[in-house]
A and B are shown apart, each in its own frame.
Chain A
Amino acid sequence: MKDLVRKLTEINSPSGRESRIREVILEELKNSIDGYEVDKLGNLIVWKNGKSDKKVLLDAHMDEIGVVSSFIDDKGFIRIEAIGGISAYNLIGSRITFPESGIEGVVGIEGETPQDVQKNLKELNFDKIFVDIGARSREEAEKLVPLGTFGVYSAEFVDLGRRIVSKAMDDRIGCAVLIETIKMSNPYYKLYGAFSVQEEMGLVGASVVAFNINPDFAIALDVTAWSDTPKGYKRMSIELGKGPAIKIKDNASISDRDIVERLRNVAEKNGIPYQIEILIFGGTDAAAIQRTSSGIPSGTLSIPCRYVHSPHEMIDIEDAENAVKLLKALVEEER
Chain B
Amino acid sequence: MYLKELTELFGVSGYEKKVREYIREKIKGRVNLIEEDPLGNLIAMKKGRIDKRLLICAHMDEVGFMVSNIEDDGRLSIISIGGIDPRAIIGKKVIIGEKEIPGIIGFKAIHLQKDEIYEPPKMENIKVDIGVTKKSEAENKVKIGDFVAFSVESKSNERWFSGKALDDRCGCSILMDIIHRDIDLYYDTYFIFSVQEELGLRGAGVSAERIAPDLAIVIETTTSGDNPEFPSDRRSTELGKGPAITFAHSGYVVDERLFRWIIDVARENGIPYQIKRRTVGGTDARRIATTLAGIPSAVISIPARYIHSPMSIINLEDYSNTLKLVSILLTKEARL
Contact = CB atoms under 8 A, between A and B. Distances in A.
A127 B289 CA distance: 29
Interface in A12-28: 15-17, 19
A71 B275 CA distance: 10
Interface of B is mostly: loop
A81 B293 contact: no
Contacts, number: 77
B251 A43 contact: no
B11 to A, nearest CB: 28
B56 interface: no
A212 B250 CA distance: 24
26 contacts: A16-B248, A16-B254, A16-B256, A17-B253, A17-B256, A19-B256, A40-B294, A40-B295, A43-B294, A68-B247, A70-B277, A79-B233, A83-B253, A147-B277, A148-B275, A198-B252, A202-B251, A204-B253, A204-B286, A204-B289, A208-B291, A208-B293, A211-B293, A211-B294, A212-B293, A212-B294
B248 A83 contact: yes
Nearest to B251: A202
A105 to B, nearest CB: 16
Interface of A: 15-17, 19, 39-41, 43, 68, 70-71, 73, 79, 81-83, 127, 147-148, 198, 201-202, 204-205, 207-208, 211-212
A211 B289 contact: no
A73 B294 contact: no
A15 B253 contact: yes
Q: How large is the interface on B (under 10, 10 to 19, 20 to 34, 35 or more residues)?
A: 20 to 34
A208 B292 contact: yes
B171 interface: no
Contacts of A83: 248, 253, 279
Interface in B228-255: 233-234, 247-248, 250-255
Q: Which 10 A-B pairs have the closest CB atoms?
A: A16-B253, A208-B294, A41-B294, A148-B247, A147-B275, A40-B294, A70-B277, A212-B293, A202-B251, A81-B279
A116 to B, nearest CB: 16
B194 to A, nearest CB: 19
A73 B233 contact: yes
B320 interface: no
Given A68-B279, A70-B278, A39 B294 contact: yes
A241 to B, nearest CB: 35
Nearest to B255: A41
A40 B293 contact: yes
A61 to B, nearest CB: 13
A127 to B, nearest CB: 6
Nearest to A78: B233
